[in-house]
Amino acid sequence: MHQFFSSIQETMNYVVPFLIVLGLVVFVHEAGHFLAARLFGVRVETFSIGFGRELFGWNDRRGTRWKIAWLPLGGYVKMFGDSDPASSGADEKVADFTEEEKKQAFYTQKVGKRFAIVFAGPLGNYLFAVLVMAALFTAAGRPYTPPVVDKVIENSVAAQAGLKAGDVILTIGGSKIGSFEDIKRAISLNMGTEVEISFDRDGAKRTVTLTPEVVITTDRFGGKHKTGRVGIVSTRQEYLKLPIGEALQAAVGETWSLSVSTLKGVGQMIIGVRGADELGGPLRIAEMSGQVAKDGLAAFVWFLAVISVNLGLINLFPIPLLDGGHLVFYLIEGVRGRPLSEQAQEAGARIGLLLLVSLMLFATWNDLVHLRVVSYLRSLFS
């Protein structure tokens, strides 16, 4: 019995942080759509956190149904005139709307307003991440490691290139380096590629060219990743509390770096430099949420901001059914002066659904392999 309750407790240690993280970033995303719709006078019928059957909810004074649904893997805002929660098209009854109803319907708005309402979701995630990071940098400080080499590993790429302890890294591949974290990011993104590094040694600027070696690392969650390594080490760790203005500027920079790194990582998966097994789904997020929550509030808040950036970025991918897919359709409509045909939009929706389902299944399979569920099931039948 004690073991049973311990298992329940351990499960809750992962489930609760996961629900908090996903619930917050989904709420922020949908709130972006909601606020933009209200700004342009579009009526919002439903604001849902989760999919499927409603667990509980309430109506506000403007008639919007706010609800929590039983499957907490996303959410949606259904606007007046939408045919369904995915906003895959206009309701068939739109043609019969009165003039007053048309003013409040989503699909009767000018294309610029529709574009703004859809774009507001990912924008909300980005603004939320910036504000969360800025608050963290102001209250707890921004992690900072000076870009100074404390040790060069023997026979490493850096040692062969002539780098020494005490060197201050200035640029990598033309990108300015302000911290050791910047060095790690730049090296990882240039693994297996020749790159130029400039550094300061005793007041004199020098330059070397080297190729970061590709290594397989295992993170604390057990995941394996390809990354770059040159063989330099720093033993310094500082936290700099920033004034609000500098904190906001630093948060914007971090958000930009996270987005660029994610896009470059996806590109490397596509061309085969990184393994597609690094792609994680909801189970991996749940595991990471629970682990990060144990590291304290600051680590959890940082993870929350990172997930918000990723959600905003993924939704901007030009895939039908995602916000990015809708935005592409609206851009085409703006250029052509009229929307794509219903057949074209329906075909795009089918392709988008196929891509999303395939991606979700693949990510979930990776999660099950990562969590050793697959190997366990195989052992039962071998």
Query: Which residue, among 143, 135, 123, 130, has the nearest Cα to 305 in the 3D structure?
Result: 130
Asked if 238 is an active-site residue, the reply is no
Which of 30, 54, 92, 213 is an active site residue?
A: 30
Residue 146: what are its φ and ψ, rounded to 5°? Answer: -55, 145
Alpha-carbon distance of 26 to 128, in angstroms, equals 11
Count of alpha carbons within 13 Å of 183, Cβ hemisphere only? 23
Question: Coil, strand, or helix at residue 361?
Answer: helix
Alpha-carbon distance of 172 to 218, in angstroms, equals 25
Cβ-count burial 117-153 (b if 16+ within 10 Å, e if not): bbbbbbbbbbbbbbbbbbbbbbebebbbbebbbeebe
Helices 342-370 and 373-380, packing angle to 10 deg = 70
Burial class for 22, CB neighbours closer than 10 Å (0-12, 13-18, 19+): buried
Task: Identify the helix (H) or strand (E) that includes residue 57.
Answer: strand 44-59
Question: Coil, strand, or helix at residue 148?
Answer: strand
User: How many residues would you count in the chain?
Assistant: 382
Give me the active site residues, please: 30
